[in-house]
Copies of this chain bind each other. A is one copy, B any other.
Amino acid sequence: MSVSKIDFLFNPKSIAVVGASTKPGTVGNDLLNNLVKDKFVGDVYPVNPKADEIHGLKVYKTLADIPGNVDLAVLCLNAKFVLDTVDQCKAKGVKGLVIISAGFKESGHDGAELEKQLTAKVREAGIPLIGPNCLGVINPYINLNASFAAKIALKGHLGFVSQSGALCTSVLDYAEDRQLGFSKFVSFGNKADVSETDLIEYLADDPGTKAIALYLESIGNPQKFIEVAAKTFWEKGKIILCLKSGRSAEGAKAVSSHTGSLAGGDAEYEAILKQAGVQRVTTIAELFDLASLYTTQPLPKGNKLAIITNAGGPGIMATDAAISAGLKLAHLSEATEAALKPKLPEAAALHNPVDVIGDAHSDRYQAAIEITMADPDVDMGVVLLTPQSMTDVDNCGKLLPEVIKKTSKPVVGAFMGVQQVAEGVKYLVEQGIPNYAFPEDAVKSLASAYKLVEMKNLKDRTYVEYKDVDVAAAKKVIDGYLSGGVTEKYLTQAEARPIFEAYKLPLLKSGIATSADEAAKIVSGIGSKVVLKVMSGDVKHKFDAGGVILNVEGADGAKAAYDKIYANIAKNVPGAKIDSILIEQMALEGDEVIIGCSRGGLGPLMMFGLGGTFVELFKDVQFRLAPMWKTTAEEMVRSIKSFKKLDGFRGTPKRDIAAVIDVVLRTSAMVVNHPEIAEFDINPLIVHAEGKGASVADSRVQLRKK
C-alpha cells in the first residue's frame, strides 16, 4: 500500500456519496448531512438514481454523471451493489474508497466471500479502501466528516484509528469533553484493504500528527506491523498508543464472534506491541489520559517528579500514586528552597510536595512552579489545585501556562473538581496543558511518559547473524525425522541433540563408552568433571547398585570409575548385562531458566522465565515473537519480575545473562528457519556465573510437517 495513495482518503478535493438517501435517520442521509453541515471545503456529489436533491445538493443518477473529478467515493449501499459500484468508481477515476456498508466478513460465510472479491477488485484497480462495515473518516482540518458520527472531531494532533465503529461515537464525545483534538480520525471496520499498519505508516509521515492512538481487535501482519510501528516510534519519534481488546480468553472469544477476526492469544499481542514500541493501554480512560499528554507536552528526561499543591491531602495522594507507578519524588536543592521561601507564606512547605497552601492565588502558584521546575533534580511536574474559598481558579487556568511553557519539562494540571474548576481547566487546556480531574491519573500519565523514555533507549534494532549456524545440517536432521510419511514427531533431548548442535547451543558434552580406554578418551575430550552412568536394562536402581559415579576427572579417573562400575554391578546385581557406560559432563552450579517456543496464529512465540515453581506460581514469564532484534531479547530476559535472582541475588554471583540472550537468539533463528519445529522447551537451561556460560540440561522438541 502506497502511503501517498492513502492521502486521497483524508484529503480529497471532491467526494461522491453513493447511496445518499432522502430518508432522515439512514446512514446515506446522515453522512451526506455531515459533509454539508460541517462545511467540507471541497465538492460533494450525492449519487442516487431515484432522487433529485438532498440537503440542498443536486443528486446524480450515477457516478459517471458527475461533471467533475471524484477523489473520494463513500459507499452507503446495500452490500450486493458494492462490487459493481467499485467498477464504476474505477471507470470514473476515483482515487479513494470508504465503504460504510455492512454485510461482509462480519455477517458470515457469504459475506466473507464477497469481501474477498472486494479486496481483489480494489487492489486490482489500485484504489485504497477503508472498510467495509465502518463508521468512516474524519479530517477536521478540511471540515471532512465522511462518517455517520453526529459530530466532527476537534482539530488537534492525535491520529486515531479504530477497528470498532460504535466505539468511535463515544470516543468523539469523550474527546470533546476533554478538548482533545485530532489530526485524522478513522474507523476502518473489516479492513478489507487498508490495514492498521498502512494507517500507521501514513500517519507517521503526516506532519499534523504528533501521536497515534489505535483501538484494535486483531493485527493482520505482525512482522510488518512491528517493522512499521518500530520505525514510527524509534526513527520518526511519534508515539503510538494501543488499546487492544480481547485480552482474556473470554474477550478473545467475543472478538472472533464480533468481527470474524482471527483471535490471537493475548501473549502474542502483548509481545507484538512491546516489540513494535507501542505503548499499550488497558482502558479508554487511560487512552485519553495519555493522548492528552503526548500531543501537548515533551517527554521527561528522567523519573523525578515535583508536586506543587494548595492542599496537603492531595499532595500525599499524588506522592502515593507516583511511588506506586515507579516515579521518584525530586529532591529540591537548598537553592530552590531558598528561592521559594520569600515567595511563599510561613506555613507553606518548601520541600517536595511544595504546598503553597489554601489561600494561594495564581501569582503564588506561578512563582512556585517557576522556581520548582527550574531545579535540576526535577524532570516533570504536576500542579494540584483544590477549589478552596480563596482560590482564583480561573486566573490559575489563564496564567499558569505562561510559566509552565517556559520550562522544557512536562507539566500537567490536576485541578480537582468538575463545575468549580471547569473554566480554569478550559483555559489551561486551550493553552496546551493537559488537566486531570484526579491527581492519581495525572501522576500515572507522567509515569507512562517516563516508561516511553525507557522504551526509547531500546532503539537499536539489529538482528544478530549467526555465521556459525548450520541451517542445512539441521534441516537434514529434521527432514530425516519427518520422512516416510511421518507428519509429527516428539524428540527427546538425545534426538534433538543434532539440531541443537547445528545451532551451537551450549549442550553438555557426553559420550558412550564400551571400554575403559574409550571412557578415558571421552573424559579427556570433555575436559571437565563428568558423571558415569551404567546403561543396562537389568539394573533398575542405578544409584543403589553403584552404577553412577559423580565428579570423575581425567583419563585415569575415567578408567578407574569405568572399572569400578563394572565391579559394583557384578557384586550388587550379579548376572546383569551392561550395554555401555554413559558419560555426561557435569553442569556447573547455576540458576535454572526456561526458554521455549510455541506457535499461535501470529508466528513463533518465544517464552522466557525462571525455572522451577516461579513460572507456575507467579506466571512470571515473558513472550516475544521470533525473529527478534538483539535488544528485544535483552529486554525480554530483563523483563521478568524475578530477574534480580539472576543479577547477583543475596550474595550469589551474577549469572551469565549474555549466554541466556545468546540461547534466546539462536533458538529464535532456529524456529524461524525451521517451521517444522512446532514447539520446543529447554527446561532447564542452567545459567552459570558471569563469563561461564549456560548449559542445556534438558529439552524436548515437537516436530510437525508443514
Contacts and interface: CB of A to CB of B under 8 A. Distances in A.
Given A170-B416, A311-B166, A440-B284, A349 B257 contact: yes
Given A169-B420, A248-B324, A316 B258 contact: yes
A173 B313 contact: no
A618 B645 contact: no
B312 A164 contact: yes
Looking at A313, A613, A616, which has the most chain B CB atoms within 10 Å of its CB? A313
Nearest to A436: B285
Nearest to A247: B320
Contact of A258 (B257, B312, B324, B642): B312
Given A285-B440, A319-B254, A387 B170 contact: yes
A173 to B, nearest CB: 4
A150 interface: yes
B316 A246 contact: yes
Prevailing SS type, chain A contact patch: helix
Nearest to A259: B312
B440 A319 contact: no
A358 B25 CA distance: 13
A681 interface: no
Contact of A642 (B107, B245, B617): B617
Interface string A132-173: 000000000000000010100000000000111011011001
Contacts of A323: 247-251
A355 B253 CA distance: 14
Contact of A641 (B316, B317, B618): B618
Given A259-B312, A320-B282, A347 B107 contact: yes
Contact of A285 (B388, B390, B441, B617): B441
A428 B55 CA distance: 35
A353 B254 contact: yes
Given A166-B312, A386-B167, A438-B285, A245 B317 contact: yes
A440 B282 contact: yes
Contacts of A617: 614, 641-642, 644-645, 649
A457 interface: no
Most buried by B among A170, A217, A245, A324: A170
A283 B416 contact: no
A315 interface: yes
A665 interface: no
Interface string A581-624: 00000000000000000000000000000000110111000000
A310 interface: yes
A523 to B, nearest CB: 26
Interface of A: 25, 27, 30, 107, 148, 150, 162-164, 166-167, 169-170, 173-174, 176-177, 215, 217, 243, 245-251, 254-255, 257-259, 282-285, 310-317, 319-324, 329, 347, 349, 351, 353, 355, 358, 386-390, 416-421, 437-441, 613-614, 616-618, 641-642, 644-645, 649-650
Given A173-B418, A250-B319, 16 more contacts: A25-B390, A148-B389, A150-B387, A166-B314, A169-B387, A169-B389, A173-B421, A177-B419, A217-B313, A245-B316, A250-B323, A254-B315, A258-B316, A282-B321, A284-B439, A616-B649
28 contacts: A150-B387, A150-B420, A164-B311, A167-B314, A167-B386, A167-B416, A169-B386, A170-B386, A173-B420, A174-B416, A174-B437, A177-B419, A243-B317, A245-B316, A248-B322, A250-B322, A251-B317, A251-B320, A254-B319, A257-B312, A258-B312, A258-B355, A282-B320, A282-B324, A284-B416, A613-B649, A616-B650, A617-B644
